[in-house]
């Protein structure tokens, strides 16, 4: 059997080289005129100030958590295991932070350059924005891949005798990544929406000035927010998804060593590497045309990425997962094993497509749901909110069915391979579980491209803001509006994609958790079977707490935005009152003051939900220890919490996106357009949706993965 | 051992006699002046028209469902079992409908009489309203009890040889009750909130006229709605809770026959009978005083009911659950078994108290959450909505913990008794399960009194409306406002109580479902063990679908209100436009037209969510049959769906209640009071909360119980 694993470091390095090229390509674009540069600098300063403070806060929190966990695990499993996990944790946290930081810096620089390029050509603007976004996308996925690969080799690599221990000690990498992701998304999400809600409410609704009007003191904070919330947050989210997915699949791969040797463990990394290569190609082919919608150019790149990724996936499956081809052979094993596993990958790729289409249906103005919200805005804000919320609730059904189908189909495809394993006498349906793992890999194969499209969104949004603020002509504004609208679509799609992949990755991590509990039990001389049987009261209670955790967390996150927004609204009102010249446009408002108020507010408010997310599952395990079912109860918290988290995230993301586009639909002139009561009502819905879709929803994606990694790391405490 | 079961029919008959006395007492009160009688008649006509149409629709649906199920069950289990279940179903449906109908009729008659009595004395008004409410409360609980008791005896009673088959065939009674409850609550809930939202938006917000102003064409529809939604809906809800709880506990009681004989089966009925007697006493002692808040009089009655119920509960436990005392004795069984079970009952009673207090904290204006919503109304409707929604999310935590504690404590108290049983070699922790069953009985012991307080709410609300519409003086209005405000509190409390008891009753019904599946497997010669192991993909998928079902159902219910409200808003606007004299007060609006539009809208819109609720769990079982894990998957749908349903209901109920009271808080003059932008913002939140707290939330209580009864009835199809 071919050893394809060399492609892992190669693709990582190639991607980083391509990133360097993209950075050079973006930075060589002209920065625009004095006014544009002034605005860009203000955004840069604000973003840098926020990121500096935020990452300092996160670093402190991460150190505290790392020490606590190293001590706890050290006490249970010995000092070395504790240190290894803590080391992996530190590395995961650092890599996540670095990739977020670099990506963000380039995105901000791409803002002004995209705006300037839009003066002359749509293609130039589109490419600058997408390439700026691709820097984030590629660096995130490449560092995630190189990180897991590097730490695996650091801790012994393929030649280590006990593969399971090696891989379990790198679970800390995923946990470090999720912790940073949680705070990056929470802090950034609170910041961006507090600024957005504040700017919208006081600007559009109260003062009656347009979006991105330079007279609004919160306008720079709002633009900064797009970068720190949308770019940095989603980047950390998908960094974590891919890292967690790699690790989870590698844990399962250990059970496949008898069949595929080390290939079972390396396959997830190779599959990811293939996806990276496909993305490089996909980004390269995108070219905008003045007479075509920007979305069709972006979609072309996406389909190229997807097609190449599928082909490479087939290659990798055939090369690495072909038992007849090499190390092991067993007549119970289907000769087309590699093909069934490849089909699992295809299931994953199709799942991502399905999520993209379903999200489009529920959030685009062409379809029934958004139209319905716009219609109900005619009767006021209340009916608009009711209608949007019901759309969000309704939008959980199709994704729920898609995820269910993906899990079942990939599981049974995997079962068909005939692979099975046993731990301490308990048979594990490893073929089926590995099938779901491969579906997750398929879903995440295009992650880098999706991330590039996602970051394209805020870059286009900011560029449109800069064009608007620097008072450019209607033609340029029209061009930017087209890009911005494509950006809104890509942002919505990515959220659907992110939540779908979080759900699949979580199912994979459950299996890893159960595997780990079995191994721990075996090591303690207990019967290794574990079932998360909801009929047992303690397990049922664990499930209740899982759901409560998700809801409480969302409540705290949303409340944080409300509170932070309240400060900004007061500041803007104060500024208008203190200096009436601002509204006349003759005095410049104090942008920095709003940025500063927002930064402090967001960082203060992210602490409570963050602590809840980390402490919640631990407390379940501790409190339910006397029942003797702590590991099972924590498993229920994890699984049912994940389901509830994914579904609630769908409500919040979709509802928010639909409200946003219903407002935009009204702004196109429907029911009287801007300035009418209908429009005001639609703005209320949009504002309500802001913390849903950009704070609580995306934070939930991370919460569900954090639940998985934290329970996996701390499993020794519950058994 | 004493045979206390004679108390069951006796208490039922005594309660019905007391109901007759209350009816006489309410009807002999004077009806008030001509104007009052005119309004009352309009409400009566509207309510009767709605109820007639609604129950006709429900009857058709029920017949279809009964036939389908009789056929399906008949095919699997033989004709007789099919007919028995269908017969029980018909009886449950009829009893539920009758008790709802009678209670509603008296409530409507109590409206005008309460209004008239408020002219002279608070005490008279309070007593009329409470006694009107007690008619509903007592008749519902009495008929639920007599129904289960009667059908049990009809199908063989204590002397039948196979108790398990007898009791399983009366499960249909619970299913019939839940089906009627579902449609009663959905239809009534959609009606009431469509009317309320419509009346509020066009009246208060657009036209700037006060609530209950006779110029508003939707005002009568709104008053009718209070009756058909709040009274009839909650009545059907608790009818179903008590019936399902009785049956579920009786199913478990079968396993206790070796220890307590028939007492294990009869105990749930006796406990309920004791609660009824306690309520009769509690209602009797309530007496309002002009110088005291009405709430304290109502609370006095509640505490009397609770104390008497506790004492009687101890008596029943001692008399019936005392193994040393009679039929069986086993040294493994704790001699104080009756006492441990009594303590489980106390846990239930304390749980209901805890729910009441937690609900108060989150929905009363004295505490932080409501104040916070009022504060955020200053910055507009959007921040008000965000803040209220986050309060709702947050308010899931304490109830979740209370329920968890109640389940765990009562289970382990029950385990201490040492009772255990075995079905086909599988040991069942029957002591623990029966402990949770008894906790549910404790929680539901005061159900009749709680229902009386709940129905008090809409009666007081309507009476206040009648006083307002008939232009009575400020002193009378002030008196009615005090009653109305007490009514708002009791309505909020009952919802907390209803959802808490739904959660406990559901846990009980899970056990019954598992028991049933075990018996069915045994009968088929399969291994009877069943575990709802979430680690299995099919079971996990069942859990996902459970959560999706709950969210989609809520979305459809809320959307239904939005759509129905839209029709009414248009009608009111049309009426104002067609006849400008209406606003001047010189022409009477066409109330009947609004009532009619609302009725048709509500009934049309209740069909989709209703079908989803019935078909959803069945489809899960059918689609997942090929996995061989259909019964387990359906179990996961049931359990995880229940958790999600209860938690989501808490969000919707509490959020809605908090928004309502935040608006009332602003109306007391906070932040400028009525007429300000802050007030308008608070009205938006209140309106958004309306379908949450009065349509989707309460319908979810019923959905979770319907899931239980439907899966229990249809279990033979999944095994």
Query: Strand pairing of A426-428 and B426-428?
Result: unpaired
**Res B717: pLDDT:** 85
pLDDT digits (tens, 9 = 90+) for A257-284: 878 888 888 999 999 999 999 999 998 8
Distance separating alpha carbons of residues A550 and B644, to the nearest angstrom: 11
CA A347 from chain centre, in angstroms, equals 21
Three-class HEC string of A274-337:
HHHHHHHHHHHHCCCCCCCCHHHHHHHHHHHHHHHHHHHHHHHHHHHCCHHHCCCCCCCCCCCH
Stated as kind and residue range, the H or E segment containing B427 is strand B426-428
In this predicted model, which residue has the larger pLDDT, B82 or A443?
A443
**What is the number of alpha carbons within 13 Å of residue A431 lying toward its C-beta?**
21
Q: Do B532 and A530 touch (CB under 8 A)?
A: no
Q: What percent of chain A lies above the pLDDT cut of 70?
A: 97
Tell me the nearest-neighbour CA distance from B687 into chain A, angstroms. 6
Residues 667-706 of B with CB under 8 A from A: 683-684, 687-688, 691
Determine contact: B556 vs chain A, CB below 8 A. Answer: yes
| Contacts with A336 (C-beta within 8 Å, 6 or more apart), sequence order | none
Closest CA relative to residue B265, chosen from B311, B324, B178, B327: B327
Tell me what pLDDT residue B279 has: 93
Instruction: Tell me which chain B residue has its CA closest to the CA of residue A685.
Output: B382
CB-CB under 8 Å, A555 with B393: yes
Q: Do B688 and A382 touch (CB under 8 A)?
A: yes
| Chain segment B108-138, per-residue pLDDT in tens | 889 889 988 888 888 888 889 999 999 989 9
CB proximity list for A80: less than 8 A, separation 6 or greater: none
Per-residue HEC secondary structure of B345-404 comes to HHHHHHHHHHHHHHHHHHHCCCCHHHHHHHHHHHHCHHHHHHHHHHHHHHCCHHHHHHHH
C-alpha A42/C-alpha A39 separation (Å) is 5
In terms of phi and psi (left: phi > 0; alpha: psi -120 to 50; beta: otherwise), the region of B681 is alpha
Sequence-separated (6 or more) residues with CB below 8 Å from residue A667? A673, A674, A679, A682
Question: In this complex, is the C-beta atom of B276 within 8 Å of any C-beta atom belonging to chain A?
Answer: no
Judged by DSSP in three states, B34 sits in helix
CB atoms inside a 10 Å sphere around CB B573 = 17
Q: E-assigned strands of B5-60?
A: none
Distance from C-alpha of A447 to C-alpha of A141, rounded to nearest angstrom: 8
What three-state secondary structure class fits A421?
Answer: strand
Q: Among A385, A408, A651, whose Cβ lies nearest the Cβ of B385?
A: A385
Q: Note whether B381 contacts A552, CB cutoff 8 Å.
A: no
Which of A373-377, A474-478, B218-222, B574-578 has maximum average pLDDT?
A373-377
The per-residue pLDDT for range B579-606, each reduced to its tens digit, is 888 888 888 888 888 888 888 888 888 8
**A644 closest CB neighbour out of B392, B530, B547:** B547
Q: What is the pTM of this model?
A: 0.92
Task: Please answer yes or no on whether B569 and A379 come within 8 Å at the CB atom.
Answer: yes
Q: Where does the pLDDT of residue A423 fall: very low under 50, low under 70, confident under 90, or very high at 90 and above? A: low
- φ, ψ (nearest 5 deg) of residue B6: -65, -25
**pLDDT, tens digit, for every residue of B462-518?**
888 888 888 888 888 888 888 888 887 788 788 888 888 888 888 888 888 888 888
**What number is the average pLDDT over the span B10-16?**
93
Dihedral pair phi/psi, residue B428, rounded to 5°: -115, 125
List the single residue in A with minimal CA-CA distance to B407: A537
Secondary structure letter of residue A230 according to DSSP: I
Q: Which of A511, A554, A565 sits opposite B393 (nearest CB)?
A: A554
User: Contact A540/B511, CB-based, under 8 Å?
Assistant: no
Q: Tell which residue, A133, A134, A140, has the closest CA to residue A184.
A: A140
Chain B residues inside the 8 Å CB shell of A391:
555, 559
Least confident of A125-134, B102-111, B330-339: B330-339
- Assign B143 a pLDDT band (cuts: 50, 70, 90): very high
Radius of gyration for chain A, computed over Cα atoms and rounded to the nearest angstrom: 25
Q: For residue B445, which of B579, B285, B257, B311 has the smallest C-alpha distance?
A: B311
Q: Do A635 and B534 touch (CB under 8 A)?
A: yes
Closest CA to B704 of B437, B543, B503: B503
Chain A residues near residue B643 by CB distance under 8 angstroms: 540, 543-544, 547, 640, 644
**Is B7 an interface residue toward A (CB < 8 Å)?**
no
Of A394, A545, A548, nearest to B555 by CB-CB distance is: A394
Question: How many angstroms away from the CA of B335 is the closest CA of chain A?
Answer: 24
Give the number of A-B residue pairs with CB atoms closer than 8 Å.
259
CA separation, residue B513 to residues B364, B410, B508, B651 (Å): 38, 19, 9, 27
Interface probe, candidates B377, B407, B504, B541, chain A, greatest A C-beta count within 10 A? B541
Question: CA nearest A616 in B: which residue?
Answer: B397
CA distances from A436 to A144, A249, A510, A647 (A): 21, 9, 11, 19
> What is the model's pLDDT at position A422?
65
Minimum-distance CB partner of B537 among A408, A533, A647: A408
The DSSP element (H or E) to which B298 belongs, if any, is helix B294-320
The interface predicted TM-score of the complex, written ipTM, equals: 0.91
Q: Most B CBs within 10 Å: which of A402, A535, A601, as the mutation test of the B interface?
A: A535
Q: Is B530 on the interface with A (CB under 8 A)?
A: yes
Under an 8 A CB cutoff, do A547 and B385 touch? no
Q: Note which residues in 198-217 of chain B have CB less than 8 A from chain A.
A: 201, 205-206
SS3 state at B422: strand
Question: Does residue A580 sit at the B interface (CB-CB below 8 Å)?
Answer: no
Hey, of B201, B344, B379, B509, which one would you mutate to test binding to chain A, going by the most A CBs within 10 A of its CB? B379
The 8 Å CB, 24+ separation contacts for B82-88 are: B84/B155, B84/B169, B84/B172, B85/B169, B85/B171, B85/B172, B85/B713, B86/B172, B87/B151, B87/B172, B88/B151, B88/B155, B88/B169, B88/B170, B88/B171, B88/B172, B88/B173, B88/B176
B346 band by pLDDT with thresholds 50, 70 and 90: very high
User: Can you give the pLDDT at residue A330?
Assistant: 57
Chain A residue whose CA is closest to B435:
A537
- Give pLDDT, residue A270: 93
Cβ–Cβ below 8 Å for A543 and B639 = yes
CA distance A509 to A250: 10
Q: Which among B393, B398, B38, B437 is positioned nearest to B272, based on CA atoms?
A: B437
Residues 612-631 of A with CB under 8 A from B: 627
B398 touches chain A (CB under 8 A): no
pLDDT given for residue A354 in this prediction: 92
Q: Which residues contact B398 (CB under 8 A, 6 or more apart)?
A: B358, B361
* Nearest neighbour of A514 by CB, restricted to B535, B537, B688: B535
> A427: which DSSP letter?
E
Sorting pLDDT into bands at 50, 70 and 90, what band is B610? confident
C-beta separation of B65 from B86 below 8 A: no
Q: What is the pLDDT of residue B472?
A: 80
Per CB-CB distance under 8 Å, the chain B contacts of A530 are 535
Write down the H helix ranges in A163-231: 163-169, 171-199, 219-225
Q: Which of A73-87, A627-641, B630-644 has the lowest mean pLDDT?
A: A73-87
Using CB atoms and an 8 Å cut-off, which of residues 32-91 of chain B contact chain A? none
Contact across the interface for A543 and B643, Cβ inside 8 Å: yes
Nearest to B271 by CA among B300, B242, B237, B241: B242
Query: Residue B563 has what DSSP assignment?
Result: H
Give dist(CA A376, CA B567) in Å, integer: 11
Nearest by Cα to B65 from B92, B32, B39:
B92
Task: Collect all residues with Cβ–Cβ distance below 8 Å to B163 and sequence separation of at least 6.
Answer: B254, B257, B262, B265
Report yes or no: A590 and A236 within 8 Å, Cβ to Cβ: no
Instruction: Residue A454: name the closest of A488, A405, A416, A419 by CA.
Output: A488
How does pLDDT run across B650-678, given as a tens digit for each residue? 999 999 999 998 998 998 888 888 889 99
B540 part of contact set with chain A, CB < 8 Å: yes
Interchain contact, B407 vs A687, CB within 8 Å = no
What confidence score (pLDDT) does residue A425 get?
61
């Amino acid at each position: 059997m071919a050893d394809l694993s060399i492609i892992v470091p190669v693709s990582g390095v190639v991607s980083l080289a391509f990133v360097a090229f993209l950075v050079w390509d973006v930075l060589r674009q002209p920065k625009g005129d004095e006014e544009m540069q002034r605005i860009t600098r203000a955004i840069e300063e604000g973003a840098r100030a926020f990121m500096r403070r935020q990452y300092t806060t996160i670093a402190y929190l991460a150190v505290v958590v790392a020490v606590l966990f190293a001590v706890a695990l050290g006490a249970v499993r010995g000092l070395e295991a504790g240190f290894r996990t803590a080391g992996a944790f530190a590395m995961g946290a650092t890599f996540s932070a670095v990739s977020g930081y670099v990506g963000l810096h380039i995105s901000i620089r791409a803002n002004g350059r995209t705006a300037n390029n839009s003066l002359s050509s749509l293609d130039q603007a589109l490419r600058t924005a997408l390439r700026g976004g691709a820097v984030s996308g590629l660096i995130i996925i490449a560092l995630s891949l190189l990180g897991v690969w590097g730490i695996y080799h650091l801790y012994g690599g393929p030649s280590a005798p006990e593969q399971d221990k090696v891989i379990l000690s790198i679970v800390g990498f995923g946990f470090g990544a999720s912790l940073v992701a949680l705070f990056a998304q929470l802090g950034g999400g609170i910041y961006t929406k507090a600024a957005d809600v504040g700017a919208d409410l006081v600007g559009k609704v109260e003062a009656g000035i347009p979006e991105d009007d330079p007279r609004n003191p919160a306008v720079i904070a709002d633009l900064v927010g797009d970068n720190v919330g949308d770019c940095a947050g989603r980047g950390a989210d998908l960094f974590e998804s891919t890292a967690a997915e790699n690790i989870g699949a590698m844990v399962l791969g250990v059970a496949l060593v008898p069949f595929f040797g080390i290939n079972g463990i390396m396959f997830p990394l190779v599959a990811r590497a293939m996806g990276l290569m496909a993305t490089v190609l996909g980004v390269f082919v995108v070219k905008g045309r003045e007479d075509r919608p920007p979305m069709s150019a972006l979609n072309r790149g996406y389909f190229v990425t997807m097609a190449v990724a599928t082909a490479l996936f087939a290659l990798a499956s055939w090369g690495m997962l072909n038992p007849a081809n090499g190390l092991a052979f067993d007549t119970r094993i289907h000769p087309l094993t590699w093909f069934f596993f490849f089909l699992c990958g295809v299931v994953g790729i199709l799942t991502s497509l399905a999520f993209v289409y379903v999200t489009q249906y529920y959030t685009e103005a062409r379809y029934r749901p958004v139209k319905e919200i716009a219609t109900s805005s005619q009767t006021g804000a209340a009916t608009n909110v009711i209608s949007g919320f019901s759309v969000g609730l309704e939008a959980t059904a199709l994704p729920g069915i898609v995820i269910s189908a993906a899990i079942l189909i990939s599981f049974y495809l995997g079962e068909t391979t005939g692979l099975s394993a046993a731990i301490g006498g308990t048979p594990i349906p490893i073929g089926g579980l590995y099938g779901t793992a491969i579906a997750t890999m398929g879903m995440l194969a295009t992650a880098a491209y999706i991330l590039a499209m996602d970051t394209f969104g805020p870059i286009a949004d900011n560029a449109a803001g800069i064009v608007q603020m620097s008072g450019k002509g209607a033609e340029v504004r029209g061009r930017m509006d087209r890009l911005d609208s494509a950006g809104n679509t890509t942002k919505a799609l990515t959220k659907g994609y992110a939540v779908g992949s979080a759900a699949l990755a979580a199912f994979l991590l459950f299996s890893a958790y159960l595997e780990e509990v079995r191994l721990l039990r075996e090591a303690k001389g207990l019967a290794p079977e574990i079932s998360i049987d909801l009929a047992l009261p303690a397990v049922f209670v664990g499930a209740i707490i899982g759901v409560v955790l998700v809801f409480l967390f969302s409540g705290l996150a949303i409340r944080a935005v409300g509170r932070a927004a309240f400060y900004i609204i007061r500041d803007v009102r104060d500024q208008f009152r203190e200096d009436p010249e601002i509204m006349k446009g003759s005095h410049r408002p104090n942008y920095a003051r709003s940025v500063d108020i927002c930064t402090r507010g967001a960082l203060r408010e992210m602490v409570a939900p963050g602590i809840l997310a980390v402490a919640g599952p631990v407390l379940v395990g501790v409190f339910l220890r006397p029942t003797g079912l702590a590991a099972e109860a924590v498993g229920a918290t994890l699984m049912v919490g994940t389901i509830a988290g994914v579904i609630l995230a769908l409500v919040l993301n979709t509802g928010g996106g639909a409200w946003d586009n219903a407002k935009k639909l009204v702004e196109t002139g429907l029911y009287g357009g801007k300035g009418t009561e209908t429009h005001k009502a639609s703005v209320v819905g949009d504002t309500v949706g802001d913390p849903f879709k950009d704070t609580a929803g995306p934070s939930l994606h991370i919460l569900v993965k954090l639940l998985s990694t934290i329970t996996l790391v701390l499993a020794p405490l519950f058994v």
